[in-house]
Structure 1
Amino acid sequence: MKKWTEIPNIELYSDGGAEPNPGKGGYGVILCYKGKQKEFFESFKLTTNNRMELMGVITGLEKLKTKSNVQVYTDSKYVIDGITKGWAKKWKSNGWKKKKNGQAKAINSDLWARLLNVIYKHNVEFNWVKGHSGHTENERCDTLASYGIHSTELKEDNGYEAKKSNTEQKININTSNTNKEKVKVEKEGDNCRKCNEPVVKKTRKKTKKIKPNQTYYFEYILLCPSCKTMYLTEDAKREITTENKLFE
């Protein structure tokens, strides 16, 4: 005779974060079953708040060895809305793009894929709890996540696609221009050759001082608001004639 097996009822509490964001990250998880609790945390060198929130829930579910009824408790609207509002399923059906036939990628698609996969193995219900409101398990998960953030044993978040910082962009641009013709800055909105910030058009103030034999002046300049580099263009050049000698 086949033995009937009861599906266990599990409570999963999770919290995660990064300091700064992006920065060192960690998550904390508590699994509860029949009055017993198991808690754990992990640490990462470079990640984001949302990735840690996702990874906490994912890891907690992946630790379950058998199909379970799981009540997930998290203060992350990002995680809950991504599942309950069908965003993750839609992104998956779009080939992990935000819109069908669109170009914009769905952020954290590697973790959303893992979460969808593990959810199908269980009966999962998501519950939102207000963070830092005295909820015992949520506060404990926050503490565990903090342990992770401040741990010295940090892992690599291999799925995290970090956006290049402004400094990295500047370095790459300066390197790519080495031994090449410099990109011309000719109009407002063009990128500064030094720091890659868009330049702005500044009308020059009229001056009474004109050098001897000066035949032209620049009506405006292109100025980088970041590094203050100034560019003079042919389009801004004005010939000094009898009619426009207002500067004398």
Structure 2
Amino acid sequence: MPPAKSPYRRRPAAKSKSLPDVPPERALGETLIWTDGACQGNPGPGGWAALVTTSDDEAPIELSGGAPHTTNNIMEMTAALEGLRSLPDGSTVCVVTDSRYLLDGMTSWMAGWKKRGWKTAGGDPVKNRAIWEALDAEVGRHASVRWHWVRGHVGNALNERADELAVAAAAANA
């Protein structure tokens, strides 16, 4: 007798994307923006932070802010957006994030969303469309923007500092 079918639908396992879990190597003349977002609740008070580094020898410029009622994903996206906005036109940039949502949105999903009139593959409206469009516009303002994922909360000093600032900004908005 075959086992009984589970009443729960199981999503097929996603293909594993092998992402490098190391800080990016800075290209000549490239600015690195280390980003993070935080949220108490979800939704709830949130904070974002971006650390802008133009060389390995200089201390990063620390940017942060928050909102009283937001989501973690919006704060992750806002960190990247504000970091990009802080740079002059034509910059060469690498945005470093621990958010797969932000990384996948910018590198995998956006082209399809735009092609389908800002609809998901399932036909639903894209969540957070306004901020995705703002990110797309900021990317277009620069000479080159690449996206790099790092695992969060594993001791990388700049990722940890961005997290501290984002958490503090969320607390300030509580």
Which band: TM-score by shorter chain?
0.7 to 0.9
Of the two, which has the highest radius of gyration? 1
Please state how far the C-alpha of 1:89 moved relative to its aligned partner.
2.1
What does residue 49 of structure 1 align with? 72
Three-state SS of the structure 1 residue aligned to 2:87 is coil
Counterpart in the other structure of 1:151 = 172
Q: Residue 31 of structure 2 aligns with which residue?
A: 10
User: Structure 1: which 5+ runs fail to align?
Assistant: 1-6, 155-248
CA contact (8 A) 2:33 2:95 kept: yes
Deviations 1:159-186 (Å, cap 9, x if unpaired)? xxxxxxxxxxxxxxxxxxxxxxxxxxxx
Does 91-100 or 74-83 show the bigger shift? 91-100
Q: TM-score, normalised by structure 1?
A: 0.55
User: 3-state DSSP class of the match of 1:82?
Assistant: helix
Aligned to 1:91: 113
Confirm whether residue 128 of structure 1 aligns to residue 149 of structure 2. Answer: yes
CA distance in 2: counterparts of 1:120 and 1:66, whole angstroms: 9
Alignment partner, residue 111 of structure 1: 131
Aligned mates of 2:66, 2:32 — CA distance in 1: 23
User: Which residue in the other structure is 1:27 paired with?
Assistant: 48
**Secondary structure in structure 1 of the residue aligned to 2:138:** helix
Hey, which bits of structure 1, 4+ residues long, moved more than 2 A?
A: none
Shift of 1:28: 0.8
Q: For the aligned residues, what is the CA RMSD?
A: 1.7
Do 1:41 and 1:147's aligned partners in 2 also have CA atoms closer than 8 Å? no
Pairwise mapping of residues 137-176 of structure 1 onto structure 2 (< 5 A)? 137-152=158-173
- Contact kept? 1:15, 1:75, Cα under 8 Å: yes
Deviation at 1:93, TM superposition (A): 2.3
Structure with the larger helix share: 2
- Where 2:165 maps in the other structure, the secondary structure is helix
SS of alignment partner, residue 172 of structure 2: coil
In the TM superposition, residue 99 of structure 1 has moved relative to its aligned partner by 3.6
- Aligned match of 1:64: 87
